[in-house]
Amino acid sequence: MRHRIRIAVGPVQFRIGSDWAEPIAALERLYARYPQDDARPADATVRLFAARPWRRWLRPSVHIGGDFIVPDALPLPLSMGLLAAEMGMNLQVALGWRRHMLLHASAVAKDGRAMIMSGESGSGKSTLAALLGEGDWRLMGDEFTLIDPEGGDAFAFPRAVSLKNEAIAEVAARVDPSRLGPLLAGTPKGDIRHLIPRPEAVAAMHEPARPALLLFPRFGGETAIEPMGEGEAFVRLTEASTNYVALGEAGFAALTRLVREVPAFGISYPDSAAGIALVEQLWAETAR
């Protein structure tokens, strides 16, 4: 394709091709500090393309393609090309990656141990991970956490963090503006702005961490902590995994071990400060 870039996030090497220069330029800026290995072939392909040649210029709309596609997915306007690229990358990982069990969860690590946060979008898992990652935690990822079926370790997928709506101002107040991408206003997922993870988090992206605490955050409402049984955590994580079924017995074994070895809690919190205090407290008291 006319414009292209290669990006490695965690264990996945992407190649992304585009009919337009803009999305690639935006990706180049976000991923400039990520390690580059030109000798490494790509595991996954993403294509950003115009359905008809004239739609490159005339009301340009970006279709998301690649090794795996979602049939009938709506295209995005060119101004949201970066979001299209992000969705395309997520899709290839969610549907194509088999080396690890994928959890739709954010994660941060400290001293080689990981705290994994799973929840629907809007639960605040990304925001919590981003804010913790600005403190003394290593950000492992805001979207996927990878579990090694053999040993049970968590692996990072530290793509550029996708900040949404209120979280944008909250994080922007604390970080250098050079680490923020352009504001994508009014996307189907609300306002979006990307945050480049700290260089230490990117440099450590291949280092595994031992899962030590599982959280199921819920943003809004009074501060509350609810211990969660193995069964419920198991069922919730099967729903949060995009390849649990495809992994078969290995997926079952990995998930069973995770919920047996790691304490799990549901938490509610009214604002980020309370959320951070809550997870720090739980980490100090219960993390294994």
Partner 1 sequence: MSAVRTLVDLLARRRDPATLAPRDWDSVIGVARSEAMLATLAHRLADADLRPTVAALFADQRTAAKVAQRQALWEAEMARRALAPAGIEFVLLKGAAYAAAGMSCAAGRQIGDLDILVLAHDIRRTENLLLKAGWEWVKSDPYDDAYYRQHMHELPPMIHKARDRMIDVHHTILPRTHRITPDALALVSDAVASGASFAVLNPADMACHCAAHMLADGDLQGGLRNLWDFHTMTRDFAAVDPAFWGKLDARADLHGLRGPVRRAARLARDLYGAVLPGGWDRQDPADRWFRRRLLARDDWGRVTNPLLEQAFYIRSHWLRMPPAMLAKHLWTKWRKR
Binding site for partner 1 (CB under 8 A): 1, 13, 15, 17, 38-43, 45, 47, 49, 65-67, 96-99, 246-250
Place of tokens 């809690």: 265
> Of 106 and 241, which CB lies nearer to partner 1 in the complex structure?
241
Yes or no: say if 136 and 280 are a contact pair by the CB < 8 Å rule. no
In the complex, the smallest distance separating the C-beta of residue 247 from partner 1, rounded to whole angstroms, is: 7
Q: What distance in Å separates the CA atoms of residue 195 and residue 191, rounded to the nearest whole number?
A: 13
Rg from Cα positions in the chain: 19
Q: Which is nearer to partner 1, 32 or 39 (CB)?
A: 39
Measured from the CB atom, is 47 or 138 closer to partner 1? Answer: 47
Q: How far is the CB of 17 from partner 1 (least distance, A)?
A: 5
Q: Sheet harboring 161-164: ordered strands across?
A: 161-164, 190-195, 184-187
Whose Cβ is closer to partner 1: residue 42's or residue 172's? 42
Which own/partner pairs from 47-52 qualify as long-range (CB within 8 Å, at least 24 positions apart)? 47/1, 47/16, 47/17, 47/18, 47/88, 48/16, 48/17, 48/18, 48/19, 48/20, 48/23, 48/81, 48/84, 48/85, 48/88, 49/1, 49/17, 49/18, 49/19, 50/19, 51/75
Three-state secondary structure call for residue 246:
helix
CB 34 to partner 1: min, Å: 16
| Residue whose token pair is 């090694």 | 148
How many Å separate Cα 187 from the centre of its chain? 18
Smallest gap from Cβ 45 to partner 1, in A, equals: 4
The smaller minimum CB distance to partner 1, of residues 49 and 265, is found at: 49
Strand partners, 25: none
Which C-beta is closer to partner 1: that of 145 or that of 243?
243
